[in-house]
Amino acid sequence: MDVGDVAHGGVCVARHEGRVVFVRHALPGERAWVRVTEGGSDDPFWRAEAIEIVTESPDRVQPPCPYAVPGGCGGCDWQHAAPRAQRRFKETVVAEQLRRLAGIDMRVEVEPVPGDADGLDWRTRVTYAVDADGRAGLHRHRSHDIVPIERCLIAHPRVRDVGVEAREWPDTESVEVVAASGGRLVIAECTSPEPEPPILASDVSVAVAADRDGSRLRALHGRTEVVEEAAGRRWQVTGGGFWQVHPGAADILAAAVLDALDPRPGERGLDLYCGVGLFTGVLAGRVGPDGWVVGVEGSRQAADDADWNLRDLPGVRVERGRVDRTLNRADVAPEVDVVVLDPPRTGAKARVVASIAARSPRAVAYVACDPAALARDVAIFAEHGYTLAGLRAFDLFPMTHHVECVAVLEPTAQR
């Protein structure tokens, strides 16, 4: 079939007898033989993968990883496309989501970020699945099947040097490797109550997850915390707590948020889904001792890390609790000047957006890893009198379809 435009999710759109087919491993403008992987005669669309390219796109390259092929590892979507073409596809997707879901026509540029090698060697946090034979690997696309691998090329060299793929992991369901600015940590989710600590490099700490989401850790060797360095400060991150996985991400996002909000001395700030406090800290540095910043975080461990990381900054308070519920409390920043909104992939949604608008900030910086959720929430902000005033997009996840955006929203009356 003839392959058409790129779509959200690392696929291209083709059509077969009137039915939409979402095709992986193809590029716009190609002609290819495809194999249907999901869908039957009664389904409105099919999923497929290109198994033979008849007419190649000039953007096509040989995938550097032998596992980035049909039926292989599902972690990378665009290894068969040149890096600049990958960014162009992401620009198309972000612009299309804004147009379709928010009714906004905007030119989008996806910026490369220092810290990777032509799209490789960047991922500082990798979670490996472990198969029944104790071999570490990664999942196939949209599958629980595990593909054992010898080497992940997008993993940071300090992750690969731990050697997870080279050893067996009996009685283990998953292994996460964290390569931070200061230290490395391996977290194993084990089925055995008393696992044997693996023998790894001397500078690698080892912990076992005490529950499935990894929020409680038991150290087998070394510490359960790592230290990251960004925005001129050091940040403690416990276990597999959230931190951006691209080595250049924290600095560039902190700078983009400050550019979007331009916080002023004495202003009042609110940082929602604040994690370990990165944006809370950079806001506090700008508003100074005469201003204040409240961070809100649902994870108790992340909030504890934020308290520790921001303990020297006056005027900073961290609230523990679900963001939507915490914002309903009258004592939590009833009026603010600037807001940072960095929700999970599903976005902020209507209840949180309404609570933000009710506080009448002069500007909101929305940090988003999913363009569809961002566009949906931008449309909700518009219902509350806020306009999309600007947007930057960053290629923090090369070789994949993911893209990070920083959008700034302002009251329509200010425009």
Active site residues: 369
For 358, the enclosing helix (H) or strand (E) is: helix 349-358
Torsion, Cα of 207, 210, 215, 218 (10° steps): -40
Instruction: Determine phi and psi for 309, rounding to 5 degrees.
Output: -65, -30
3-state secondary structure of 167: coil
Rounded Cα gap, residues 387 and 382, in angstroms:
6
- The two tokens of residue 73 are 């590892």
* Beta carbons within 10 angstroms of residue 91's beta carbon: 18
What is the C-alpha separation between 238 and 259, in angstroms, rounded? 29
Phi then psi dihedrals of residue 145, to 5 deg: -65, 140
Residues in the chain: 415
**How far is it, in rounded angstroms, from Cα 37 to Cα 39?**
7
Q: Which residues are annotated as a binding site?
A: 244, 273, 297, 342
CA atoms within 13 A on the CB side of 312: 6
349-358 and 371-383 helices cross at what angle (nearest 10)? 50
Count of helices and strands (H, E) across the chain: 8, 22
Cα separation, 70 vs 243, whole angstroms: 30
CA distances (Å), origin 341, targets 19, 321, 349, 402: 38, 15, 11, 18
What is the rounded radius of gyration, in angstroms, for the C-alpha atoms of the chain? 22
CB 87 within 8 A of CB 110: yes
Strand bridging mode 136-139 / 217-221: unpaired
Contacts 24+ apart (CB under 8 A), 354-359: 354/380, 354/384, 355/324, 355/327, 355/328, 356/270, 356/272, 356/327, 357/381, 357/384, 357/385, 357/386, 359/270, 359/333, 359/334, 359/335
Binding-site residues from annotation for S-adenosyl-L-methionine: 244, 273, 297, 342
Q: Judge whether 269 and 360 are in contact, CB under 8 Å.
A: no
